[in-house]
Structure 1
Amino acid sequence: MFKITVILMVMGVTCHSCVDGQGWTQIPRGLVQVSGNLNYIWGLDKENKIYLCPRPCTGAWKVINGLLVQLDVDDEFVWGVNKNDDIYVRPVDGSGSWKKLAGKLIHVSASGNGYVWGTNRANYIYKCKKPCNGGWQRVNGGLKMIDGGEREVCGVNSGKNLYCRPVDGSGAWRFITGGFQYVTTSGPYDIFGINTKNEIFRCRKPCIGQWIQVGHDKINSLSQCDATANALFGIDSGESVWRKDFPL
């Protein structure tokens, strides 16, 4: 196990222990975004083409019809938005066809606890109770990206500030220290964040800002990531796909 003990101050993040659990495993395919659950991985390439691979994925990706600029996977469905901000959903195993939902979003996220969340070009925040047919409700605040988990939904605004609240939309937004451009909270134990240097951090839930850097001799940075119950998937600057298993 690769381990160093240093103190880092990165974009307001204090890291008392930079750690690596299991190593990173590369999955063949050039992608710019990835999202997964316990059974499937979905991804997008730079041409907005859509790919699906059953876990454990060793590179046998299947091309799925359609074009999307962003997607997110829950236990049953894959959700996505295209370049026109249109919202689509289909079964996570790739069966059936894409169903278009009412509304316009630039980022969509589906939690495992009954809600879909999204943000639009004005950074307005919306939620929709599953099964979502387009009945979006606006939620106070402004975020440019958002990610839903089992208990909380978290997102970052244009100032790289991180906020979380209960996934059903109750309560108020809770500020968490740390400057991030991308976060994922879909795993059961940790929130993961990527800062402007593409460095990866994790914070044990309920997170109060005690971030620990995630690193390895193969990879120390990601441009995008998505957590499942047992692994973190990510994309590096070279569009390589990586998986990091958790010792749960």
Structure 2
Amino acid sequence: MHVLILGGTTEARRLAGLLHGTPGLALTSSLAGRVANPRMPPGEVRVGGFGGAEGMAAWLREHAVDVLVDATHPFAGTISFNAASAAALAQVPLLALRRPGWDPVEGDAWHEAGSLEAAARLLPGLGRRVFLTTGRMGLAAFAHLDDLWFLVRSVDAPEPPYPARMEVLLDRGPFTLDGERELLRRHRVDVLVTKDSGAAATAPKLTAAREAGVPVIVVRRPPVPEGVPEVATPEAAARWVMRHPVPGAPPRNTP
């Protein structure tokens, strides 16, 4: 049984760890290659794109993939639609592993935006010193805001275009609540911009913002393909994979 995980997330690595070493199961994780030094999952790893849905379908056929799991980032966008099309073309079962998004709680001052561009339009009315945690991609949406100062946190250094008044903090989660409190205080942050990526590793910034009375612009998640079965945890995904029948193969025990 050959399982391909479209990964790059904490959940994808956890799923690979649950499945790795299972007798009779071959495991491959695919990483997009956008991070210079990614955290590698166990098992075989391929890096780079497939060349669209048809290229992915060809890879599925060529490598005799039996099950495909889309465990990409909630904002990966295009890859999920390519996976749905490729799975249909290659007639391979597809599961989506998607972490739940964040929900506001009492005391939060959230402002929803449908895109990075919409978030940029909201900023001038909310603050002047911005903690931007949307990653290094898409900074062009904020490049014209010359009157604002940005603290940009990302794993790798961003490339232009980006805001003229900007300090870059190279770091990756998990982040602590005390650390996030100190960042807001030291840099005198008065507005936070984040994507609704979910996960506990980056959630402390929301708590720190709530405590400090800092408004938060939350960029909503992009749409996902319809009709794809979905689970919220790596454990549920592992059970789904192990329950899935492969023609000609005996049933496998659920981990």
- Relative to the length of structure 1, the TM-score reads 0.24
Mark the structure with the bigger radius of gyration.
2
Answer 1 or 2: which has greater helix percent.
2
- Relative to the length of structure 2, the TM-score reads 0.24
